[in-house]
């Protein structure tokens, strides 16, 4: 017997031997070591990002650029109900079960061979929740006997993965203050690590670590300077230095929501979390760099202490949340092998940093146009274009300026992929701009805190979306695929020389990883804004993705969204394979 099941069995034997009589996880199921090994174990998908480094790369090559044109559905499973909103989840696949989260904080377990539903959990949400950008959820985390996900009322729920029964349920933050949660949790060393959402309500971004078995808080790290962190119930130092980059009391409602979660690099033992926009949007109300908003942070998983930071948009004035995934990778730069990390930011630049210390290596434009800056200097500071910042409003609506990218970003939440075969990053990007103006605003708990208005605009006749292959060593775009509607789904790349992503028009598509040639597409019946995955089961390779149009674009896209108003809603898991 070969394949993933045998490998899993031998793994269990090895752990039992190493630990003596007591197995590492009493209830069975994925261990810390399994999660860290997820990128290499092709028989399962245990983590958001398909590995803690979130490369979204599988070495599987049974489905490849030579035969993907023959790929067909194995089955589809509906999420049912009347709650058909954006389905942005990435499936988790383990031991014959596919776990997916759905809109309105639901979690489903489907049989991975037949698509039959095993159980469904619906969070009971209060009336007053304040999700900014649709009622989405991006995925679950699995550990031992548990499957864990975050809910729109800013809670974290652990369910028994076999029955769907609640094991524990903890509050991350108070939804009445504007907090919510949509990201997939990250599990490292027996801790569930989460961020928070609510950057449009003047919340304070934070990263929390909880005991995976009990849900009890281990450490709490606010990401805005001046706020106190905790470790095991005790104070553990202020973040940054009070009033260094914020004036007066503005840091108390400073934003910086960590709403997309994080990645973990076993190599440097660092967590990487991105932080959202400073609050309010109107930058004239908060002079200074406003640390640590719109930044990438490296955090010590044992203590929650910030080890380094790099701010992608100092003193942001365009809602350029810096939350995007920071992906560790190794490459040789100028003849020197380096431990690097990359992030494609909402502000339109692709950043490469030394991940051991946060040192700036390069920033490469990956969109058609950036009006707010024309590049970065060697110290990693943007060369601002002064006229690109919307002016102070006085006591009425300020003068609008045209800005690009739009606040929905050169790239938004949808995760990119990194191929170890081609050495390229595959970025789901969008080319669009906006008219933006500032307005007066005062902070009020639980109310929108923008002080700005906007209208999104197209900047090209033939597309908004563009899937781009970026060479991180040179900053060159090696190929691009243009899509009429904005791209809003994640990317997967494989050892079969393939790149997969979905479109709002309803297709899951496959491209040649080296050339960008479109090789296959399938119409799923609603827009695809989820993240595809692949795994091996019973000797065959499978690909799965969620279908269900929604997310921020139809809610915030204005004139641009009207062009896509005829896309039908839905809610389904689609699973594909080659015919036998």
Q: Phi and psi of 552, rounded to 5°?
A: -75, -30
Yes or no: say if 109 and 98 are a contact pair by the CB < 8 Å rule.
yes
We find the least distance from the C-beta atom of residue 204 to Ca ion, in angstroms, to be: 14
Taking alpha carbons only, the member of 183, 227, 367, 207 closest to residue 301 is 207
How far apart CA 210 and CA 194 sit, in angstroms, is: 9
Complex with Ca ion: residue 209 or 545, whichever CB lies closer: 545
Report the residue number, 255 or 506, with the smaller CB distance to Ca ion.
255
Beta-bridge partner residues of 107: 101, 121
Closest CA to 380 of 310, 452, 281, 447: 310
Beta carbon of residue 41, minimum distance to Ca ion (angstroms, whole number): 4
What are the residues binding Ca ion (CB under 5 A)? 38, 41, 44, 199, 276-277, 319, 321
- Minimum CB–partner distance for residue 517 and Ca ion (Å): 28
Q: Which residues contact 51 (CB under 8 A, 6 or more apart)?
A: 38, 39, 40, 57
From the list 572, 543, 539, the residue with the least C-alpha distance to 72 is 543
**Shortest Cβ 20–Ca ion spacing (Å):** 27
* Closest CB 506 distance from Ca ion, rounded Å: 27
**Rounded Cα distance, 71 and 63, in Å:** 8
Contact 384, 400 (CB under 8 A): no
For Ca ion, the closer CB: 279 or 466: 279
**CA 464, 469, 471: angle at the middle one, nearest 5?**
135
Residues acting as catalytic residues? 319
CB of 259 to Ca ion, least distance (A): 8
Specify the DSSP element, H or E, that contains 10: helix 4-19
Q: Residue 271: beta bridge partners?
A: 264, 299
Contact status, residue 94 vs residue 30, Cβ threshold 8 Å: yes
Residue closest to Ca ion (Cβ): 41
**CA–CA separation, 90 and 533 (whole Å):** 7
Sign of CA dihedral 167, 172, 177, 179: negative
Q: Which of 474, 521, 526 has the alpha carbon at shortest distance from 505?
A: 526
CA distance 255 to 199: 5
Which pairs from 514-522 meet CB under 8 Å and 24+ separation?
A: 514/422, 515/479, 516/467, 516/469, 516/478, 516/479, 516/480, 516/481, 518/481, 519/65, 519/68, 519/69, 520/68, 520/69, 520/71, 522/71, 522/73, 522/574, 522/576
Pairwise CA distance, residues 414 & 487, whole Å: 8
């Amino acid at each position: 017997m070969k394949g993933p099941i045998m490998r899993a069995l031998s793994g269990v034997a090895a752990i039992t031997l190493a630990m003596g009589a007591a197995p590492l996880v009493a209830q069975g199921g994925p261990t810390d070591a399994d999660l860290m090994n997820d990128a290499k174990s092709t028989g399962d998908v245990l983590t958001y990002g398909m590995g803690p480094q979130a490369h979204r790369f599988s070495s599987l090559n049974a489905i490849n650029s030579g035969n993907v044109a023959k790929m067909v559905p194995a089955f589809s499973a509906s999420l049912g109900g009347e709650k058909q909103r954006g389905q942005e989840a990435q499936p988790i696949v383990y031991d014959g079960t596919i776990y997916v989260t759905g809109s309105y904080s639901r979690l489903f377990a489907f049989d991975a061979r037949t698509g039959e539903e095993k159980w469904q959990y619906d969070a009971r949400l209060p009336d007053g929740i304040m999700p900014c950008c649709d009622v989405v959820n991006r995925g679950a985390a699995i550990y031992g006997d548990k499957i864990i996900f975050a809910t729109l009322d800013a809670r974290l729920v652990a369910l028994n993965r076999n029955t769907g029964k609640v094991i524990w349920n903890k509050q991350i933050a108070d939804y009445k203050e504007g907090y919510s949660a949509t990201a997939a949790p990250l599990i490292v060393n027996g801790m569930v690590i989460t961020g928070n959402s609510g950057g449009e309500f003047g919340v304070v971004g934070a990263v929390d670590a909880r005991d995976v078995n009990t849900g009890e808080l281990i450490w709490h790290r606010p990401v805005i300077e001046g706020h106190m962190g905790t470790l095991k119930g005790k104070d553990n130092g202020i973040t940054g230095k009070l009033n260094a980059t914020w004036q007066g009391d503005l840091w108390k409602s400073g934003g910086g929501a960590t709403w997309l979660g994080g990645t973990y690099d076993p190599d440097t033992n660092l967590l990487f979390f991105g932080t959202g926009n400073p609050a309010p949007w109107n930058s004239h109300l908060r002079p200074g760099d406003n640390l640590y908003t719109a930044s990438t942070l490296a955090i010590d998983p044992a203590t929650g202490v910030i080890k380094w930071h790099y701010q992608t948009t100092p003193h942001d004035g365009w809602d350029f949340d810096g939350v995007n995934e920071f992906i560790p990778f190794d490459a040789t730069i100028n003849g020197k092998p380096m431990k690097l990390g990359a992030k494609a930011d909402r502000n339109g630049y692709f950043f490469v940093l030394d991940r051991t210390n946060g040192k700036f290596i390069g920033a490469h434009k990956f969109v058609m146009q950036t009006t707010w800056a024309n590049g970065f200097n060697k110290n990693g500071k943007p060369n601002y274009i002064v006229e690109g910042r919307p002016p102070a409003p006085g006591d009425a609506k300020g003068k609008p300026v045209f800005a690009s990218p739009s606040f929905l970003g050169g790239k938004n939440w949808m995760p990119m992929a990194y191929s170890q075969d081609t050495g390229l990053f595959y970025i789901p990007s969008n080319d669009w701009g906006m008219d933006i103006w500032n307005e007066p605003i005062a902070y009020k708990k639980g109310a929108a805190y923008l002080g700005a208005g906007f209208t999104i605009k197209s900047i090209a006749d033939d597309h908004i979306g563009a899937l781009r292959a970026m060479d991180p060593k040179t900053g060159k775009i090696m190929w691009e695929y243009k899509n009429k509607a904005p791209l809003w789904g994640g990317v997967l790349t494989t050892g079969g020389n393939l790149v997969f992503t979905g479109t709002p028009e309803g297709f899951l598509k496959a491209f040649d990883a080296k050339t960008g040639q479109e090789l296959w597409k399938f119409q799923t019946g609603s827009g695809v804004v989820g993240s595809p995955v692949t795994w091996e089961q019973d000797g065959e390779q499978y690909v799965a993705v969620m279908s269900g149009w929604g997310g921020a674009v139809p809610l915030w896209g204005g004139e641009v969204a009207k062009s896509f108003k005829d896309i039908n809603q839905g809610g389904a898991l689609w699973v594909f394979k080659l015919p036998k």
